[in-house]
């Protein structure tokens, strides 16, 4: 069976996989085993992860870096996860909150009441400015602003880039591909200049870039060249921003369609802002339940691929080495046996629903050793931006215009135009 549609049709995927825990399909011209069972997906990602490497679809999609965390070398991947971790762990992320809030507020207060806003483009600007403003230090303010703007243009082009299939092949020959290439070059060139400045400033020792530059082996030799540091930073910062921008866009759209949800969220955000949520645990926060439900229905990384590194047996299926194994978080998150009425937006389902640790039924950030290292950063950023936007504005979209789901580099809303009115 084939899944070669230029735009992946989730209803067709569900139909082809119904009743099958595993099924052989052709995905983007690649023969693959599609896995729809959350227990088996967890086995691939966690308990048997050493038997699986990056699959063919991943290699086709990758065009940002081949070093650091995207290296084929597992030891290098783990090493650069450890290097990034100090700047993304929860305790450090808490310190970023004032900067996140200031950046988001400066952006949204520039909107004008009644003017149409391209929400996803604006979310790119905000998340990119936050990424640069928190992770890169030691630069002049004007350079930091320009770096954020260039990253925003790159992220915007990346979001709209077809990930697989015939659409991706066509896109490689279009003006869209030229725009993406130009945006990447512009961001990379300025980032390279910033790296050169940091190299010539011995006192600049703080921040993610400086940690990459300072990384050395036992003999004190630098492991990455400045050019490789640049490639790794482009990958890291682009990946972090395109996903968060897409999730925030969905969150604001869902709020505009659900007045009661919006009312409850606003009340909870006020309470959390006033410090009344300090001792909350789990899903007692409506804000957390709201974001969990957004990520359930609209996981930005909607499809993933692994390749068997040796002969393995998965659910009584013998898979020889080199077999591509594909799974979709979008489909896993909408299984009716896991989530009753799975297509309904219901944050309160998380009051009673418990995620089974033996399954991969909820993986918006992945799980296991390859899970998203920026998850604590993303949760904090989503709440801060959501709070700032909703404090300032009430957003509305044309009720007669259907917003389509675009499964491209991320799962994003296609062409989301909204009109802000003062809160």
Share of the chain above pLDDT 70, in %: 87
Place of tokens 């790159």: 154
Q: Kindly report, residue by residue over 287-304, the tens digit of the pLDDT.
A: 999 999 999 999 999 988
Identify the pLDDT of residue 279: 59
Identify the pLDDT of residue 60: 47
Please choose, from the candidates 309, 343, 379, the residue with its C-alpha nearest in 3D space to the C-alpha of residue 97.
379
Cα separation, 410 vs 412, in Å, equals: 6
Share of the chain above pLDDT 90, in %: 54
Residue 378 CA: distances (Å) to CA of 94, 208, 237, 239, 381: 12, 16, 12, 11, 5
Assess whether pLDDT exceeds 90 at residue 207: no
Identify the pLDDT of residue 405: 87
User: How many CB atoms neighbour CB 218 within 10 A?
Assistant: 5
Of 195 and 64, the one with more pLDDT: 195
Q: Kindly report, residue by residue over 36-47, the tens digit of the pLDDT.
A: 999 999 999 999
Assess whether pLDDT exceeds 90 at residue 91: no
Q: What strand order describes the sheet that includes 117-118?
A: 117-118, 417-422, 393-397
Of 394 and 84, the one with more pLDDT: 394
Assess whether pLDDT exceeds 90 at residue 172: no
> Is position 372 annotated in a ligand binding site?
yes
Across 107-121, 137-151, 263-277, least confident range: 263-277
Average pLDDT over residues 356-361: 93
- Residues forming beta bridges with residue 362, ordered by sequence position: none
Look up residue 222 and give its DSSP letter: B
Residue 208 CA: distances (Å) to CA of 7, 148, 211: 36, 15, 5
pLDDT band at residue 59 under the 50/70/90 scheme: low
Assess whether pLDDT exceeds 90 at residue 9: no
Greatest mean pLDDT among 10-24, 148-162, 182-196, 217-231 lies in 182-196
Cα separation, 4 vs 24, in Å, equals: 13
Across 111-125, 150-164, 320-334, 342-356, least confident range: 150-164
Sign of the CA dihedral with 4 first, then 8, 12, and 17 last: positive
Phi, psi of 31 (to 5 degrees): -70, 125
Domains, the chain: 2-323+336-422 (1.10.630.10)
pTM exceeds cut of 0.85: yes
Q: CB neighbours of 8 closer than 8 A, spacing ≥ 6?
A: 164, 165, 303, 407
Mean pLDDT for the chain overall: 86
* CB contact at 8 A, 22 and 34: yes
Cα separation, 408 vs 220, in Å, equals: 42
User: How many CB atoms neighbour CB 354 within 10 A?
Assistant: 8
Average pLDDT over residues 44-68: 71
Identify the pLDDT of residue 380: 95
Assess whether pLDDT exceeds 50 at residue 7: no
Q: In whole angstroms, what separates CA 94 from the centre of its chain? A: 20
Taking the CA atoms of residue 315, residue 21, residue 10 and residue 362 in that order, the dihedral angle to the nearest 10 degrees is: -70
pLDDT band at residue 49 under the 50/70/90 scheme: very high
Identify the pLDDT of residue 69: 63
Identify the three-state secondary structure at position 133: helix
* CB contact at 8 A, 226 and 153: no
């Amino acid at each position: 069976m084939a899944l070669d549609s230029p735009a992946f049709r989730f209803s067709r995927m569900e139909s082809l996989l119904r009743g099958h825990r595993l099924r052989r399909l052709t995905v983007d011209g690649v023969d693959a085993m599609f896995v729809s069972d959350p227990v088996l997906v967890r086995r691939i990602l966690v308990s048997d992860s050493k038997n699986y490497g990056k699959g063919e679809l991943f290699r086709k999609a990758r065009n940002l870096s081949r070093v650091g965390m995207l290296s084929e070398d597992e030891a290098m991947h783990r090493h650069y996860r450890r290097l990034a971790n100090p700047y993304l762990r929860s305790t450090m992320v808490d310190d970023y909150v004032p900067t996140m809030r200031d950046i988001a507020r400066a952006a949204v207060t520039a909107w004008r009441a009644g003017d149409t806003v391209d929400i996803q483009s604006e979310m790119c600007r905000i998340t990119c400015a936050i990424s640069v403003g928190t992770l890169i230090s030691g630069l002049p303010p004007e350079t930091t602003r320009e770096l954020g703007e260039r990253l925003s243009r790159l992220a915007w082009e990346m979001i709209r880039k077809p990930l697989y299939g015939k659409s991706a092949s066509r896109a490689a020959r279009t003006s869209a591909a030229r725009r993406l290439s130009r945006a990447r070059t512009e961001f990379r060139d300025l980032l390279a200049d910033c790296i050169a400045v940091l190299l010539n400033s011995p006192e600049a020792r703080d921040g993610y870039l400086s940690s990459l530059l300072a990384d050395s082996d036992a003999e004190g030799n630098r492991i990455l060249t400045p050019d490789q540091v640049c490639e790794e930073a482009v990958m890291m910062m682009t990946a972090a921003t395109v996903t968060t921008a897409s999730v925030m866009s969905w969150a604001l759209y869902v709020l505009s369609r659900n007045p009661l949800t919006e009312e409850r969220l606003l009340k909870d955000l006020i309470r959390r802002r006033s410090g009344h949520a300090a001792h909350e645990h789990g899903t007692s926060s409506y804000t957390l339940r709201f974001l969990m439900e957004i990520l359930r229905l609209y996981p930005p990384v909607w499809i993933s691929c692994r390749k068997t590194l040796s002969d393995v047996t998965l659910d009584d299926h013998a898979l020889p080495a080199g077999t591509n194994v594909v799974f979709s978080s979008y489909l896993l998150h909408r299984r009716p046996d896991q989530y009753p009425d799975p297509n309904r937006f219901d944050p309160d389902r998380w009051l009673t629903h418990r995620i089974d640790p033996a399954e991969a039924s909820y993986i918006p950030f992945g799980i296991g050793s390859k899970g998203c290292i920026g998850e604590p950063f993303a949760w904090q950023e989503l709440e801060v931006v959501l709070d700032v936007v909703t404090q300032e504005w009430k957003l509305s979209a044309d009720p007669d215009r259907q917003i389509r789901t675009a499964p491209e580099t991320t799962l994003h809303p296609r062409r989301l135009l909204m009109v802000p009115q003062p809160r």
